[in-house]
Homo-oligomer: A and B are copies of this chain.
Amino acid sequence: MARNSTARPRRIVGGDVGATKVSAAVVDAEGRVSSRGGPIRHGNEGPDEVIRDLIEVVRTSLGTGSPPAAIGIGVAGQVDAASGVVRYAPNTRWRDVALGARLSGEFGCPVVVANDVRAATVGEWRHGAGRGATNLLCLFVGTGVGGSAVVDGRLLEGAVNALGEVGHTVLVAGGRPCHCPGRGCLEAYVGGWAIAERARERVESDPASGSELLRRAGSIGAIEARTVGETAHARDPLAQEIMRETADYLASGVAGLVNAFNPGRVLLGGGVIEGSPELVEAVADRVRTSCQPPAAEAASVMRVALGSDAIIIGAAELARDRLRSPVRVPA
């Protein structure tokens, strides 16, 4: 409970290293974002360039004010939480990048590096739609499907900090090939890339029904998940059918996860959900009707609340936690 004795509150910065851009902001203890840096679109030329951009957006967010007390960064990749090393980030093609040490050397403060989905989950848990929950399952349905779980009041890590990859639970045994080594994963049906792929196949096999999708996209190869969602909202029968199937797959997958994880709250976010928010009600219905009764009664299904700021807010929270429990930082 002891407070830092400086006159003004210690400033915490949260940052977000995505596949195409970096951004940062100062975040206060109530999860409010104040001054921002970026986003800067990076050319993905490698860790040195991206880290240079990241340092720039952190500096911009700090402005001329006091130096940061701690920094938290969310990264789309597998992270070794203790060392701050990004083990593997497929989108930016990083391997074993000591991001924490680099930033810590630059800014002279503790730096926490976390997987971006986990950071976003912490953001929603502390300051968004997950506030007050002790058992929370977050699913982010974007191009891929990421997830993270808070159970019994703790954010779970697992054996190698990879717990929560619920996009790769098997939804259709022996089904569609996934971008991971498996087949039939939830992501291979409801991830943005998979919705687009399913739609392209349908248009290819039946160009007449697919004429509206084709017209909007320009070519079969240009059909994206967003095209399908928008075309469904314009009441095109094929696009509506594809989105109904998507809702059905997502609902089945989440119902199974509710049985397995027994969450009090399930939060759905990511680009696919933002584009087609009606998916949330489809999932909620299925959880009510097809989960085991105790799990069904316990679980509320809702949308995330913080949007794209969730990563920055959550990363800043993790940095704030680190200041409270500095013993968790190994040498």
Partner-B contacts on A (CB < 8 A): 78, 87-88, 134-135, 147, 151-152, 154, 156-166, 168-174, 180-185, 189, 248-249, 252-253, 255-257, 259-264, 289-299
Contacts and interface: CB of A to CB of B under 8 A. Distances in A.
Contacts of A253: 170, 173
Given A160-B262, A295-B160, A257 B169 contact: yes
A159 B181 contact: no
A202 B295 CA distance: 34
A162 B252 contact: no
B298 A160 contact: yes
B159 A298 contact: yes
Contacts of A290: 180-183
A165 B260 CA distance: 5
Given A160-B295, A163-B260, 9 more contacts: A135-B163, A151-B156, A151-B158, A152-B154, A160-B294, A162-B292, A169-B260, A173-B252, A173-B253
25 contacts: A88-B294, A135-B158, A135-B159, A135-B163, A152-B154, A152-B158, A154-B154, A159-B298, A163-B260, A164-B260, A165-B260, A168-B256, A170-B171, A170-B252, A170-B253, A170-B255, A172-B173, A173-B253, A180-B291, A181-B289, A181-B291, A182-B255, A182-B259, A182-B291, A257-B260
A94 B263 CA distance: 25
A166 B168 CA distance: 14
A298 B134 CA distance: 27
Contacts of A298: 158-160, 162
Contacts of A78: 294
A169 B256 contact: yes
A260 B160 CA distance: 12
A129 to B, nearest CB: 16
Contacts of A172: 172-173
Given A151-B158, A154-B152, A292-B181, A260 B166 contact: yes
Contacts of A264: 159
A151 B156 CA distance: 7
Contacts of A293: 181
Given A154-B152, A170-B171, A260-B169, A159 B292 contact: no
A261 B163 contact: yes
B256 A182 contact: yes
Contacts of A161: 262
Nearest to A182: B290
Nearest to A250: B173
A221 to B, nearest CB: 27
Contacts of A261: 158, 163
Contact of A248 (B156, B173, B249, B297): B173
A191 to B, nearest CB: 14
Contact of A173 (B180, B183, B249): B249
Nearest to A155: B152
Indicate the member of A151, A248, A289 with the most B CB atoms within 10 Å: A151
B180 A292 contact: yes
